[in-house]
Structure 1
């Protein structure tokens, strides 16, 4: 079934002739870029937009992946939009609109009619305000159009020998900070450094939610016992306090995407 969807995806891509792929280096965008390169060899342009709230480790990985895939690739650094400085609830819509407007300008300058993003079928069931901006701007989502789910994309990525088939989901660093909170670059780098440390000691699916002087760690439930082991707990506490946190806590509900969107009842 998923292989049939993949053939549908390739046929759709071939009909576009030339494409610009919004390339983050995540599971979906890597799979989309791979498919586009198969369908339209030599006619694919990948662009990675790096904002201050984009994890820099992800940017470096995107550059390396595009190089390994032998695809034309450009990295574009973008400034911090002032309308996002206080991390508003509608940040995803505002951010997507700003970033994809820049991609539209790049595509127009290149004479490319189709801009593609990696939205998949599962995203229809999630809280994705950024999707509204993509629809308004006429951005195409071929994975979704082919009916591909995240699980199918991971399975096909493994079949196609893509190194990202089991990569944890990623999001921008603004998702680590409560809404209506002023954000500056040092705080974003502190969060990223904290998460990189947690990943370096074995916690691949992790979020460091930052509440001022308090760091709230989310990991998947099955590894909570590993994190609270005395020697690991002390190591994490010391490292995050060196980054400026006064209190380091573990979220007992475990890791879940969008936890800062949860409503208290």
Structure 2
């Protein structure tokens, strides 16, 4: 078995670091690849099926590594109820989904990880790629991905492992946090978080973007026609 991880502007830097540590600690072979999706104009145009182009590029890059094997992805049965154009790309490249074949949902996978002593992995919050924070139809750029990554990283350092998204919308940046936490934040705390987010947005090229906070809403940057 060989682990593969795509290094991309759309993948948070801390996620890549975590994968590297996981592989090193367990002496597992790890291939770091560039899926080259940022060179694909169909991907950067950010249509509703952006994930199809992302996964198509990824699987094409993985294919030479498994000429005599099988590419396996981490899709689980909970994912099957969502709009997942990346699954079409998986079908086109004969990718298998072991968790789906075993009938495992997200909660089952977390329990399995705990039973294997992988508690740190089991407790990781959901973390879609950074491009999912960019409103459908708004071009995916390295600058915006960097802003999103740095703002989310700074706020998580402050708030801990909470549900948090920095959305890039046509109107500017909207930072969404766990609804219960958002409801409990005082005006003073919100001012501090706004100042922190503003600093990191400005430092990474976002000085002209407006910035506001809202309660988290799943998939709010995805505009399905």
Alignment match of 2:213 (pick from 250, 253, 259): 250
> 1:247 offset after TM fit, Å?
2.9
Is the Cα–Cα contact under 8 Å of residues 35 and 57 in structure 2 kept in the other structure?
Answer: no
What root-mean-square deviation, in Å, do the aligned CA atoms of Structure 1 and Structure 2 show?
1.8
Task: Give the total of aligned pairs.
Answer: 215
1:129 maps to which residue?
85
Matches within 5 A, 1:66-215: 66-79=23-36, 80=38, 81-108=40-67, 112-162=68-118, 163-203=120-160, 204-212=162-170, 214-215=172-173
Mapped contact 2:138–2:169 kept (Cα < 8 A): no
Offset from partner CA, 1:163-212 (integer Å, 9 cap, x none): 21010011111111111112321211011000001111115211110125
Give unpaired runs (5+ residues) of structure 1. 1-43
1:223 counterpart = 2:186: no
If you compute each CA radius of gyration, which structure gives the higher value, 1 or 2?
1
In the TM superposition, residue 99 of structure 1 has moved relative to its aligned partner by: 0.4
Q: CA deviation at 1:213?
A: 5.8
| Aligned-partner SS, 2:11 | coil
Report the Cα offset of residue 158 of structure 1.
1.2
The residue aligned with 2:204 is none
After TM superposition, the score normalised by the length of structure 2 is 0.88
* Post-superposition offset of 1:77: 2.5
**Structure 2: gaps (5+ residues):** 202-206
Q: CA deviation at 1:259?
A: 1.7
* Pair 1:70–1:255, CA change in 2 (3 A): farther
Provide the C-alpha distance between the structure 1 equivalents of 2:190 and 2:181, rounded to a whole number of angstroms.
12
- Distance in 2 (CA, whole Å) between partners of 1:231 and 1:70 is 47
